[in-house]
Amino acid sequence: MKKLETDVVIVAGGPAGLAAAVTVGEMGLSSILLEKARTTGGAANMGMGPLGINTTIQKEQFNDISVDYAFDLHMNYTHYNVDADLVQTYFSKSADTIAWLQELGVEFAGAFRYFRESEATWHIVKPENGVIGPRAASGMVKVLTEKAKEYGTEILLETPATSLIMEDGKVVGAKAVDAGGNELEVRGKAVIVATGGFGNNGDMIKKEFGLTLMEDFYPFMIPGVNGDGLNMMWEVGAQKFGANIEAIYQLPDNMNWFILDAVLRQPNLLVNQRGERFMNEGYMGNTTYVGNALRMQPGNYAYCIMDRKILKSYKKNGPDIMDIVHPADAFHGFDKEAEMAVEQGYSAYFEAETIEELAGKMGIDPETLANTLDDYNAMCESGVDTQFHKDQKYLHEITGKGNFVAGKFYLGAYGTIGGVRINKRCEVLDKDQKPIPGLYSAGSDANTIYGDSYNFTLPGNTMGFAVNSGRMAGESVMDYISNMEA
């Protein structure tokens, strides 16, 4: 077994691990980063940017938001069922972290809202191709990776950690296997674990949440995110705590049907498999709210129904709900992608000339669906939603003019969050809530700050927590090592 020595062992090179590597490097510590994939970045390569609160960018855009306002909003949202000290530490550090990233060379396109009711906390990385959208944050990953290398971090790609090394009650390293199958023993004075959760592990998803990947649950699948770090930390006594999903909703295989997904997520008629309406569709901009609502329905899915008359209006006048991820110009590409979906028999898209035909294609009792539609249209005509109180501006009668169209949206997730408990120093806690010496965690493995629902009103939160907690962990490790050597 090959043995390596360093100051800090970092398990995984996503935004949390990379931020930790740069941070310890800035303070003169050496580090070895063990990354399972062929490249760094993890889920951040699919993302757009981190949260920031009270940043210069926000002030320049006249979108000031204070830490105390954001803290109160977040703690009320979570009903104080989270570690307030951890939230406060993260939020208070976030503006400095945005400035730190800028000093490293990361450029931002601005600070954005995700949807109308959210706050402008999402600091989207300036995309290399000039188009704001998924994968914009890959530019940040490149900067952090290069800076980590400049500070001396040895990044071992295709080298997954397999277990932690514990001696005399302290974590002192990790074992790993390199691309050639050779076993490594990497020893350090402290270990930071940041493997991104277990969103790609079907067995763990089933065990923890009762969900079945690609049957009733369609998350973003980030290769390699299998819960390795959590299992390693649990094995050395970490408290099992707070695992959840970042609930959203989407069409299956939505990246290949992105235009359909973007166009059909408008606040029209949502029905479940029983043909019944179940929520105020005006909240469809908040993907967590809808994801939670879908999880309450049979099969964790529902159908959003409209007609081409409504689509024509959206194409001409713009959609009811606009967000930064699903641009309004998607409506101009809808017909072509819809035609392709019909030709290929895509299972989550439906067209029909009558409501009875639509019900048949969706497997819903036609009489029930017809009655639901009649009731809904009556409310649209009166301008008052007496069932779920949707805003009048979203009440569009669905007559089937041009034909009915519908999308089958499932519960999805950006990934999993939580699994171990940390304090504001990112020390991993045991079952008695005492720190395990030498063990730190950051990013999604340790993200337990949302309670039962991801807080989409403060967008950029998960990537923001990853980068900030990576820095927090790195700073805490420096204190730990300094005290050890004193």
Cβ atoms of 140 and 49 closer than 8 Å: yes
- Return the amino acid letter for 160: P
Where along the chain do its domains lie? 2-206+219-239+421-485, 251-411
pLDDT for 326:
86
What CATH architecture is 251-411?
A: Alpha-Beta Complex (3.90)
Within the chain, which residues score under 50 in pLDDT?
none
Residue 85's Cβ-count burial label (10 Å; 0-12, 13-18, 19+) is exposed
User: How many other CB atoms sit within 10 Å of the CB of residue 425?
Assistant: 17
The C-alpha angle 163, 169, 174, rounded to 5 degrees, equals 20
pLDDT for 1:
87
End-to-end CA distance of the chain: 32
Q: Which fold has domain 2-206+219-239+421-485?
A: FAD/NAD(P)-binding domain (3.50.50)
pLDDT for 173:
98
The C-alpha angle 220, 16, 118, rounded to 5 degrees, equals 60
pLDDT for 128:
83
User: How many other CB atoms sit within 10 Å of the CB of residue 316?
Assistant: 8
pTM of the model: 0.96
pLDDT for 223:
87
pLDDT for 152:
96
What whole-number distance in Å separates Cα of residue 473 and Cα of residue 18? 11
Burial 88-98 (b: 16+ CB within 10 A, else e): bbbbbbbbebb
pLDDT for 324:
84
Tokens in use for 285?
């901009």
pLDDT for 132:
84
What whole-number distance in Å separates Cα of residue 376 and Cα of residue 368? 12
